Amino acid sequence: MNEWINEVWKKLDKKLSAEAVRNRDKIPYTTVDGVYNNMSRDDVTWWTNGFWPGLMWLMYKGTGNGEYKKTAEKGEELLDAAFDEYEKLHHDVGFMWHLSSGVNYRITGNRKSFLRNINAANILAGRYNPCGEFIRSWNGDDNKGWVIIDSMMNIPLLYWASEVSDDPRYKYIAIKHADKVMTTHLRGDGSVNHIVELDIDTGEAVQSFGGQGMREGSSWSRGQSWAVYGYVLSYIHTGNERYLDAAKRVAHYFISCVADTGYIPQSDFRAPKEPVIIDTTAGAIAACGLIEIANNVPEFEKDMYLNAAIKILKALEENYCDWKEETDSILQMGTEAYPRERGRHIPIIYGDYFFTEAIYKLKGFDMLFW
């Protein structure tokens, strides 16, 4: 196993060190004919714009190669323009800044990075609805009560803000939100809703939507992954066992679904067998969550989670990784949303981010980026 991990890490470094230099002035999302596009030009407020700097920091932390650091810092600077577009920012400020500025600050102590990340935390905290006890996900008049399961990955920004400011308010918001989502999004069998509309005055669930899954009541695999990783992160930051139990419950469901399809997730676990629409990114995200569950349960519970993570990562590596140095992006066949043909079976930056983070964890590097 160690041999495989070392081999994959070497391949990651070989390809990503080449990508880091040739893509220094970009914030990539996907590729066009094997070349990264540039979201700093196309839409600097796009929710995934923190993953590229985050990926560079993972590799910097794991190798010490300063070229990664330069590219991470450049990506973070490019992202500054997003702060000028306040109306376009929403709950994904966690994804955007906690992995870029937040990680920079934690590695280097950079003051400017601290300010960016605390600004992002204040934006996220400002989205809290104290009557409904939830963080509003998106903007727009029609969805004041909408909450998406992905939000569980944005709240580590709030745990961090409480830690650095010695002010518990951010953490209290995160905990209220995590508790609410546990009652509204997690189903009894371990599957989760993607979007739930909550009453803005009482916080009661009004209705759920399929969102990026097939339809209402289905099971969007990336949503399950956000829940597995998001809840174990809330456990790590708070020590509340109910979050670890929630992460385990969704993990059990996730593992039983992927065991049926060679450890490669379908984009929606409740979709018909045909057409086959897979989402490799869901596998990479879940693997990170499963590794963290394994790190946080007693010794005799670990194997189920760790072995499942390794099976998923091996299946991704064997079938869907492009290791050619001359093309951009590693993990292929990510899917944005089950219902849309556009954005289906493409490389997506967070696929590479989470695949790399999982291997970084397995290598034993211990700085948690979230």
Closer residue to ligand GLY, CB minimum distance, 137 or 356: 137
Residue type, 120: A
Q: Which of 30, 40, 117, 212 contacts ligand GLY by CB under 6 A?
A: 212
Binding map of ligand GLY across residues 164-203, x = CB under 6 A, - = no contact: ----------------------------------------
Q: What's the closest the beta carbon of residue 164 comes to ligand GLY, in angstroms?
A: 25
How many Å apart are CA 74 and CA 113, to the nearest integer?
A: 12
Residue type, 230: G
Put residue 217 in one of left, alpha, beta given phi > 0 → left and psi -120 to 50 → alpha: left
Q: What's the closest the beta carbon of residue 137 comes to ligand GLY, in angstroms?
A: 9
Q: What's the closest the beta carbon of residue 218 comes to ligand GLY, in angstroms?
A: 15
Helices within the chain (DSSP H only): 2-22, 39-42, 51-63, 66-83, 93, 103-108, 111-125, 156-165, 169-184, 221-238, 241-259, 280-296, 299-320, 349-363
How many Å apart are CA 271 and CA 165, to the nearest integer?
A: 45
Closer residue to ligand GLY, CB minimum distance, 234 or 335: 335
Closer residue to ligand GLY, CB minimum distance, 152 or 294: 152
Asked if 157 contacts 98 with a C-beta cutoff of 8 angstroms, the reply is: yes
Phi and psi, residue 128, nearest 5°: -75, 135
Q: What's the closest the beta carbon of residue 12 comes to ligand GLY, in angstroms?
A: 22
Q: What's the closest the beta carbon of residue 47 comes to ligand GLY, in angstroms?
A: 6
Q: What's the closest the beta carbon of residue 147 comes to ligand GLY, in angstroms?
A: 12
Q: What's the closest the beta carbon of residue 87 comes to ligand GLY, in angstroms?
A: 19
Measured at CB, which residue is nearest to ligand GLY? 150
Closer residue to ligand GLY, CB minimum distance, 50 or 145: 50
Q: Which of 282, 154, 142 is nearest to 212 (CA)?
A: 282
Closer residue to ligand GLY, CB minimum distance, 113 or 218: 218
Q: State the distance between the two ends of the chain, measured CA to CA, in whole angstroms.
A: 26
Phi and psi, residue 195, nearest 5°: -120, 135
Binding map of ligand GLY across residues 40-69, x = CB under 6 A, - = no contact: -------x----------------------
Q: What's the closest the beta carbon of residue 150 comes to ligand GLY, in angstroms?
A: 4
Binding map of ligand GLY across residues 334-353, x = CB under 6 A, - = no contact: --x-----------------
Q: What's the closest the beta carbon of residue 279 comes to ligand GLY, in angstroms?
A: 9
Q: What's the closest the beta carbon of residue 91 comes to ligand GLY, in angstroms?
A: 9
Asked if 263 contacts 315 with a C-beta cutoff of 8 angstroms, the reply is: yes
Quickly tell me which residue has 């695949």 as its tokens: 355
Q: CA–CA distance from 226 to each of 36, 246, 288, 339, 343 (Å)?
A: 25, 12, 10, 19, 19
How many Å apart are CA 8 and CA 89, to the nearest integer?
A: 36
Closer residue to ligand GLY, CB minimum distance, 196 or 362: 196
> Side-chain half-sphere of 183: how many Cα atoms within 13 Å?
13
Q: Which of 222, 237, 248, 361 contacts ligand GLY by CB under 6 A?
A: 222
Closer residue to ligand GLY, CB minimum distance, 96 or 330: 96
Task: Give yes or no for residue 150 binding ligand GLY (CB under 6 A).
Answer: yes
Q: Which of residues 263-302 bind ligand GLY (CB under 6 A)?
A: none
SS3 state at 183: helix
User: How many residues belong to the site for ligand GLY (CB under 6 A)?
Assistant: 5
Closer residue to ligand GLY, CB minimum distance, 71 or 100: 100
Sign of the dihedral defined by the CA atoms of residues 341, 257, 219, 251, in that order: negative
Q: CA–CA distance from 307 to each of 267, 298, 319, 329, 361 (Å)?
A: 22, 15, 18, 26, 14
Residues contributing to the site for ligand GLY (CB under 6 A)? 47, 150, 212, 222, 336
